[in-house]
């Protein structure tokens, strides 16, 4: 993991009511509900599309949109081969821990990323135990959707997603235009 001195703009799709409450300050950032589903692609956190307001706006047709200024902080960035190597190196310990607890190994099934979620959460907990530091954000690129045009390798829904695990990385929110 690296401490990034990088600020990005992220966009979060939600209901119009929650968007309005976050932007007005009625709902404080420290009370923003993080996703803790077992299938979250980047582990637990508040999810943002990096520089992707239209994708966030249409997510699950909820109709609300919140822009955020995010300091990536201590970032587990999967566009960096050092971090994807950490996942590979950690998998045997994760699998051993699952066997010790008599739990089945989670599986990824389409867009339900139970194995990825469990591994990222495992590595985050292990990183904190070993270093005393928190993984504040997790970042990954995802190739999705149909080809942009016939024969293209460029896919229409490709995006970079960020899961903010530490709300203090959200420097502020705004209403996108």
Token reading at 81? 């081969």
Share of the chain above pLDDT 90, in %: 92
Could you give the 3-state DSSP secondary structure of residue 36? Answer: coil
pLDDT band at 61 (very low <50, low <70, confident <90, very high): confident
CATH for 2-174 (3.90.228, 3.30.70, 2.30.30, 3.80.30): 3.90.228
| pLDDT higher than threshold 80 for residue 133 | yes
Cβ neighbours of 86 (radius 10 Å): 18
Backbone φ and ψ of 2, nearest 5°: -125, 145
Question: pLDDT digit string (tens) for 18-29?
Answer: 999 999 999 999
**Residue ranges per structural domain of the chain:** 2-174
Could you give the 3-state DSSP secondary structure of residue 13? Answer: strand
- Which among 144, 162, 161, 163 is positioned nearest to 153, based on CA atoms? 144
Predicted structure pTM score:
0.94
Cβ neighbours of 83 (radius 10 Å): 19
Question: pLDDT digit string (tens) for 26-58?
Answer: 999 999 999 999 999 999 999 999 999 999 998
């Amino acid at each position: 993991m690296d401490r990034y001195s990088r600020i990005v703009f992220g966009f979060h799709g939600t209901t119009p009511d929650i968007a309005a409450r976050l932007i007005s300050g009625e709902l404080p950032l420290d009370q923003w509900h993080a996703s803790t589903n077992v299938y979250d692609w980047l582990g637990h956190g508040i999810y943002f599309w990096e520089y992707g307001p239209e994708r966030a706006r249409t997510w699950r047709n909820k109709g609300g949109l919140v822009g955020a200024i995010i300091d990536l902080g201590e970032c587990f960035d999967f566009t960096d081969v050092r971090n994807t190597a950490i996942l590979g190196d950690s998998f045997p310990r994760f699998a051993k821990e699952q066997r010790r607890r008599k739990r089945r190994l989670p599986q990824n099934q389409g867009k339900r990323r139970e194995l990825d979620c469990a591994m990222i959460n495992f590595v985050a907990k292990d990183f904190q135990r070993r270093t005393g530091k928190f993984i504040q954000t997790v970042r990954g690129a995802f190739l999705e959707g149909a080809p942009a045009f016939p024969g293209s390798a460029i896919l229409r829904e490709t995006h970079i997603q960020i899961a903010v695990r530490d709300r203090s990385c959200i420097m502020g929110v705004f209403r996108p235009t």
